Amino acid sequence: MSKKAIVLQTTLELITTQGINATSLSQIIKESGVANGTVYHHFKNKEEIITELYLMLTQDFGTVVMRNTDQGDYKKQFSTMWMNLFHYFVNNPLAFVFSEQIARSPEIPQSLKDRARKYFSEIELYFRNGIRDKVFKSYNTMVMEELFFGNVVSIVKIHENEKVTLQEKHLQQAIEISWRGFVKE
């Protein structure tokens, strides 16, 4: 792992356990074991580290959601997108905590959130095309994206917090319930 990656990983670990404000640059340097000069070679300050981390994880989310989604059958794509995000969050608990606690916090400036929207363009296009093709109800696509993510997050929370072993049938039920909220009847 590169020194830059070590700094980003350490920052992710620290801010997901103690928050952005409670995490100092000196703590990031100390915990990462990377020399001051090396950190400053890659980043000017803590805000720049947070920005890169935020953009990196946002890009991950957007890429992971759309992985292996063949064009055509909207319901099959929806199910694949849903399961992609579910498994990503289950297998990457720090990314899950980051998306829930940090990415949505007021500590992340709106300008950065706006900048990161480009990573969700394929997801937005999926919903936009579904509306155009009269598969989905005509809702605001950003609302649709947030509700889609929210549905997955709720099931991940059950899986993580309740220590419930969700069976495949439970996941399929959750996908079906979520799907019905979007699809035209």
Asked if residue 131 is part of any domain, the answer here is: yes
| CB 74, CB 133: distance < 8 Å | yes
Looking at the structure of the chain, the number of domains it has is 2
The pLDDT of residue 105: 82
Nearest to 16 by CA among 74, 81, 97, 109: 97
Handedness of CA 96, 90, 25, 114 (dihedral sign): negative
From first to last of its 185 residues, what are the pLDDT tens digits of the chain? 899 999 999 999 999 999 888 999 999 999 999 998 888 899 999 999 999 999 999 999 999 999 999 777 999 999 999 999 999 999 999 999 988 888 888 888 999 999 999 999 999 999 999 999 999 999 999 999 999 999 999 999 988 877 677 889 999 999 999 999 999 98
Asked if residue 143 is part of any domain, the answer here is: yes
C-alpha 86/C-alpha 64 separation (Å) is: 10
Structural domain containing residue 18: 1-43
Hey, is 136 helix, strand or coil?
A: strand
CATH number at 16 reads: 1.10.10.60
Hey, is 139 helix, strand or coil?
A: coil
Asked if residue 174 is part of any domain, the answer here is: yes
Mark whether 147 and 84 lie in a shared domain.
yes
Asked if residue 165 is part of any domain, the answer here is: yes
Mark whether 129 and 66 lie in a shared domain.
yes
Handedness of CA 131, 136, 137, 142 (dihedral sign): negative
The pLDDT of residue 143: 95
C-alpha 1/C-alpha 57 separation (Å) is: 17
The pLDDT of residue 100: 86
pTM (2 d.p.): 0.89
| CB 178, CB 151: distance < 8 Å | yes
DSSP 134: T
Asked if residue 127 is part of any domain, the answer here is: yes
C-alpha 172/C-alpha 162 separation (Å) is: 19
Look up residue 31 and give its two tokens. Answer: 């915990």
The pLDDT of residue 185: 80
Asked if residue 48 is part of any domain, the answer here is: no
Asked if residue 87 is part of any domain, the answer here is: yes
In the chain, % helix, strand, coil (3-state, to 5) comes to 75, 0, 25
The pLDDT of residue 65: 95
